[in-house]
Amino acid sequence: MKKIQHYVQGQWTEGKDEGAPIYDAITGEVISNVAIEGLDVPEILQYGRTKGGEELRKMTFQERGNMLKKLALYLTKRKNEFYDLSYRTGATKVDSWIDIEGGFGNLFANASLRKLFPNQPYHVEGDPIDLSRGGRFMAHHIMVPKKGVAVHINAFNFPVWGMLEKCAVNWMAGVPAVVLPAPSSSYLAEAVARAIIESGILPEGALQIINGTVRNILDTVESQDVVTFTGSAATGRLLKAHPRIIQEAVPFTMEADSLNASILGEDAVPGTPEFDLFVKEVRKEMTVKAGQKCTAIRRIIVPENLVEDVQIALGKALDKVTIGDPRLKEVRMGSLISKQQVEAVRNSVKDIAKEAEIVYGNLDKIETIGADAKKGAFISPILLRTDNPFENTAVHEREAFGPVSTIMPYKTIDEAVKLAQMGKGSLVSSIATFDDKIAKEYVVNAASHHGRILVLNRESAKESTGHGSPLPYLVHGGPGRAGGGEEMGGMRGIKHYLQRTAIQGSPTTITEITGIYQQNAKYKEAEQHPFKYHWEDIEPGMSLKTHKRTITDTDIINFANVTWDHFYAHTDITSLDGSIFEKRTAHGYFIISAAAGLFVYPNKGPVAANYGLDSIRFLRPLYHNDTIYVRLTCKEKVDRDVASAEHPSGIVKWHVEVFDANFENRPDSQKSDKDSPLVAVATILTMVQKKQETFVEINRQSIEGYLNKLSEDTKPLWGNMTPQHMIEHLEYSTRISSGEIQDIEIGTPEKILEKVHNTLYNYNKMPRNFGAPERLEEELKTLSYESLDEAKQKLLEAYDRFETYFKEHPEETQKNIVFGHLNRYEWNLFHRKHYNHHFEQFGLI
């Protein structure tokens, strides 16, 4: 029998012992064994800390995010091969979609969070803190990756999601992971881990996986490690109390039993959309993944006058749930993970049924489609009812981890809150109501006991992700019985793997450490106007002091007339008595506009566009005849992704300080300790292009120079072309660009044409050994010219005609087989990439 393998210390291996059998949840057959004997756990953890951790910590948040995105795309292309394995866990296609593609979605979502972090390996958190009256001593907070390993002990129900929801977060933080999937579904986790390792996208050591129960995994954890656990509260409490966890103060996050409650609002009576939505949601949460979800609805809390209606409606809804082989389209619910789990659920139901009545389903009878109920781990949906939920407390204390839920009544919304709280903490609660006052009363009073609360009504239903769907951007966790931990949550989740450290020093020192310009730091005088620099060459602190401008009465009046801002301080000087203004006052937005006029560089350059205004503050009034100058200083740089038809660029945040140039000339008698020449500050954003250093520029002269290096004997570094084939191929594409050849069809499908077209603007090289278009295949079969020299001459002539054509027809476009219709600028971009590709192919570049 094949053993499930582990990936540790850079290689796939298997345990030395015979191991324990793993069963197909549908057929009951043994499909593999799990063995862990012989694994050196301390060395595995240390390998992650060093080999994987060192590489991840060097990467910036942008690099880590792009790594996750690339990995998500890679796995998504291979998703179908994981579904067959997922069916063997008893999951339907919908269940598998949640697990597999939901897991990949976690990678995508966390990858997008890179935009919220700086383009450096560590994070700068919050606002700066001034610790001195003179502004020369300050503090800030940075967050750096922990120098440990994330140990993830996962449950059986979501082997893909459970692994990737956690790993995506620690990888974004720069911390490697050791994953321990539950044995019963570890074969699916192994398959996904194998694909991840084969991709080569992650640094070696960033992921190790041990597919089995390792009882000594916590014996050698260290203070820089982080442990997460998903499973039963009893097991979680044992692990959390491990002496090593306590001794080393290791962060421990637990997601455990959760008796989640869903409440039907008093207004949601039969016939309302909310009633129907409630029944549909409860049925879904009972049967998706056969109820094996930590977020499933376990307690159904409804107005006492609607208990019968809900019971009948749910019974009808559950009657439509077909059970059996999840591969069959007509099957809506598969099996539990194992027969042992079936027995555990049966025992839990029997305990709850001592104080409640089973009103739907049968523990001893089940009908299945396409599967043998006796061989597989099947169980019927079970609906219970208790009419005295304040006295019969088993339903608030015992979780049946399967398709089981209990109806109970409430008299007032206050009672509903108390019943929900009797679960002693849950991951999620929900309420179906169209009355926002009821929603507010429940949410505000119940929030202390739940990690997430969903309000479901007719307005949100179409786009709602549902009661049971954790989202990467939101906290996933809950207080009390649910474990008291938090997973995911956007930036919050990533910060769990970072060490927060307060740093103190001068503004100049803190600027250098954080990579963000701090107020009162020394300026770095720019050698030329900052707007002349590309994104890579700009650095925080780079600064420009502008010339001066005097504000006149006419400026203020004209600005009022243009903007229609006729606030009295600007237009009615007879109304200034009792105000903070002494004379006609310049508009705040005129001051910022005038400041822009002083610091903006007028010529075309790397600054592509004004990207926005982050903040603005007016510190004191400016009057007519006051003179200002501006300090423009780079505050921070933020990388950005570009997918549209624009060149690669980043965002530069500029610190704009507007000064009163007359301040120094005022008599000391007119100044106070609080006076400052600074009258306004703002943070503006510009989109700044990155340098193009990938390609040599292509023109007639450069082409001729490279052609002189090419001879008949020149061999290609890749591909099957001869020198003459390559030249004739370039000549053909150049003739297309000048309109000589247009009897061609665009081969790229319309749905992706814009995306492909936009790649002309990036600085990525054309891929080597790319599958040749049909036309190129034809070109390789024959040659059009007698010699290489003739082909070279024809290419130069074709390029000349291309340039002439667009000088005479500057607004025209011509078809390209791959990229669609291109204008003059875009044809130049194409030729630059295309000529560089083939000149490099023959070693000319």
Annotated active-site positions, please?
255, 294
Cβ atoms of 778 and 796 within 8 Å: the answer is no
Q: For the stretch 586-607, what's the b/e string if a residue is b when 16 or more beta carbons lie within 10 angstroms of its beta carbon?
A: bbbebbbebbeebbeeeeeebb
- In DSSP notation, 249-290 reads T--EEEE-----EEEE-TT--TTSHHHHHHHHHHHHHHHGGG
Cβ atoms of 384 and 371 within 8 Å: the answer is no
Sign of the torsion formed by the C-alpha atoms of 378, 344, 228 and 225 = negative
What six digits make up the tokens of 46?
């240390």
Round to whole Å and give the CA distance between 94 and 322.
14
Task: Pick the closest to residue 4 from 550, 453, 18 (CA basis).
Answer: 18
Cβ atoms of 470 and 454 within 8 Å: the answer is no
Cβ atoms of 688 and 608 within 8 Å: the answer is yes
Count Cβ atoms below 10 Å from residue 397 Cβ, excluding itself.
Answer: 14
Cβ atoms of 595 and 630 within 8 Å: the answer is yes
What six digits make up the tokens of 14?
């298997």
DSSP state of 48: I
What six digits make up the tokens of 458?
């007719």
End-to-end CA distance of the chain, in Å?
55
Cβ atoms of 279 and 388 within 8 Å: the answer is no
For 20, the enclosing helix (H) or strand (E) is strand 20-23
Count Cβ atoms below 10 Å from residue 787 Cβ, excluding itself.
Answer: 11
Q: Which residues pair with 8 in a beta bridge?
A: 11
Strands (E), 388-513: 404-410, 429-432, 453-456, 475-477, 486-488, 498-505
Round to whole Å and give the CA distance between 747 and 744.
9
Question: The tokens 């620690």 sit on which residue?
Answer: 170
Q: Can you list the alpha helix ranges (DSSP code H) found in 113-199?
A: 161-173, 186-199
CB neighbour class for 145 (10 Å; exposed up to 12, middle 13-18, buried from 19): buried
Query: Could you give the C-alpha distances from 600 to 535, 545, 594, 684, in angstroms and in order?
Result: 16, 12, 10, 12
- In DSSP notation, 619-664 reads -S--BTT-EEEEEEEEEEEEE----SSS--EEEEEEEEEEEETTGG
